[in-house]
């Protein structure tokens, strides 16, 4: 069966309530589809109007009243704020696989006032509350998706058409009290979370939601070898020097066992000075390969800047003291030293395979965000490859 693309739009209210991680975890684990792209939008009234006009459809199994509720909801809640003119945040997730549209819709579920369980995403995160006269008191769909493959293509092409001008790392979508100075920081959910269809990427995002920060940028990223070398460049010299004592101790033990004589302390130190930089370079190459899928020595110059074979999710969080708050929830680099309840304690395995990366300073955040380029629009290219020109 042919591969399909299916989208999920996470509503501004759901984003504001930091339910993104739980929703993503369900979508990945219950569909078995591949997350191929993600992008933040700050949609204009025009984009919302065009999208809303296509919502009421004979192909949708939900009754017309529900469809009209969704249409009216989109106009009221996805459009810029009528009072302030401030645009609202919307997240698009793009999945690929066989019967992707049907699988996504089955996990999302339909909307009914009679449902009280938690089987689907809308059962858990959505609401439709009616009064005694069967009038709507409160309505929140939580997420939006197409009911059919044909509609998915049309709506994907619509959003992709606006993805350059109204998507990326969104700005001026949040307000802060006087005196509060927001920061932005980068988080990478590392490749070890994508070895198979697991809820870990969503679970990591769910952990980070405790910070009270806001996601303003998201991208599914395949780091090139050149990007990985640049990104982790500051670590290289640290590895070359910091590991000298470790290398000296291990080399001394190996040589004494092999040759049956004792190595004095001065010579042990010389072993560290000689072998430490070599071992550090080897560890650095391992980090690059872990993040990109290739070590620098394994590819020719033409491959250095090509997208790697490993996948991560790059996120930009915004808020007051964003860097410190994210680092606190992330925990130390070594998962064995991370406190209970931290991302790395829960999901990390080793110093390298430790679930996620976060910038450690404003300078690092600026440098790392420039390398990863979360605002890059790879969603449009994927849509056009599958659905045709937009």
pLDDT score recorded for residue 366: 97
Structural contact between residues 298 and 289, judged by C-beta atoms closer than 8 angstroms? yes
Record: fold of 1-168+375-390:
Alpha-Beta Plaits (3.30.70)
345-354 pLDDT, tens digit per residue, is: 999 998 888 9
Give this prediction's pTM: 0.93
pLDDT digits (tens, 9 = 90+) for 252-301: 899 888 899 899 998 888 888 888 889 889 999 999 999 999 999 898 88
Taking the C-alpha atoms of residue 159 and residue 47, their distance in angstroms, rounded to an integer, is 8
Q: What percent of the chain has pLDDT over 70?
A: 99
For the cut 60, the answer to whether the pLDDT of residue 1 exceeds it is no
Q: What's the token pair of residue 308?
A: 């790697």
Candidates 132, 141, 10; CA nearest to 71 is: 141
> Which residues of the chain form beta strands (DSSP E)?
3-10, 34-41, 90-98, 127-130, 136-140, 143-144, 182-189, 214-221, 312-320, 356-358
Domain positions in the chain are 1-168+375-390, 228-303
pLDDT digit string, tens, across residues 330-368: 999 889 999 999 999 999 998 888 999 999 999 999 999
Pair 6, 103: CB distance under 8 Å: yes
Query: Per-residue pLDDT averaged across 209-218, rounded?
Result: 97
């Amino acid at each position: 069966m042919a591969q399909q693309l299916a989208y999920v739009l996470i509503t501004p209210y759901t984003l504001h309530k930091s339910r993104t991680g739980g929703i993503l975890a369900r979508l990945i684990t219950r569909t078995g589809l591949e997350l191929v792209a993600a992008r933040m939008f700050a949609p204009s009234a025009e984009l919302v109007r065009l999208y809303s006009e296509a919502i009421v459809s004979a192909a949708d199994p939900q009754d017309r009243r529900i469809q009209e509720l969704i249409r009216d909801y989109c106009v009221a809640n996805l459009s810029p704020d009528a009072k302030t003119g401030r645009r609202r945040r919307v997240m698009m997730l793009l999945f690929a696989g066989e019967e992707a549209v049907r699988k996504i819709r089955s996990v999302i579920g339909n909307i009914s006032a009679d449902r009280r369980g938690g089987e689907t995403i809308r059962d858990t995160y959505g609401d439709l509350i009616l009064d005694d006269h069967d009038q709507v008191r409160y309505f929140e769909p939580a997420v939006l998706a197409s009911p059919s493959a044909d509609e998915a293509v049309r709506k994907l092409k619509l959003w992709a058409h606006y993805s350059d001008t109204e998507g990326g790392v969104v700005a001026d979508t949040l307000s802060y009290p006087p005196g509060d100075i927001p920061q932005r920081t980068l988080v990478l959910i590392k490749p070890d979370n994508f070895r198979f269809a697991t809820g870990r990427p969503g679970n990591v995002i769910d952990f980070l939601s405790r910070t009270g920060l806001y996601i303003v940028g998201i991208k599914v990223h395949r780091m090139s070898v050149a990007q990985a070398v640049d990104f982790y460049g500051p670590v290289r010299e640290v590895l070359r020097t910091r590991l000298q004592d470790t290398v000296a101790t291990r080399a001394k033990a190996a040589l004494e066992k092999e040759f049956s004589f004792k190595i004095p302390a001065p010579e042990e130190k010389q072993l560290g000075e000689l072998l430490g930089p070599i071992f550090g370079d080897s560890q650095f190459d391992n980090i690059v390969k872990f993040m990109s899928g290739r070590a620098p020595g394994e590819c020719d110059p033409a491959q250095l800047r090509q997208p790697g074979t490993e996948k991560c999710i790059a996120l930009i969080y915004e808020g007051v003291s964003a860097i410190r708050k994210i680092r606190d929830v992330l925990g130390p680099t070594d998962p064995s030293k991370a406190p209970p309840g931290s991302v790395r304690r829960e999901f990390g395995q080793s110093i390298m395979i430790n679930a996620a990366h976060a910038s450690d300073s404003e300078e690092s955040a600026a440098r790392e965000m420039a390398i990863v380029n979360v605002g890059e629009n790879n969603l449009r290219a994927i849509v056009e490859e599958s659905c045709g020109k937009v």
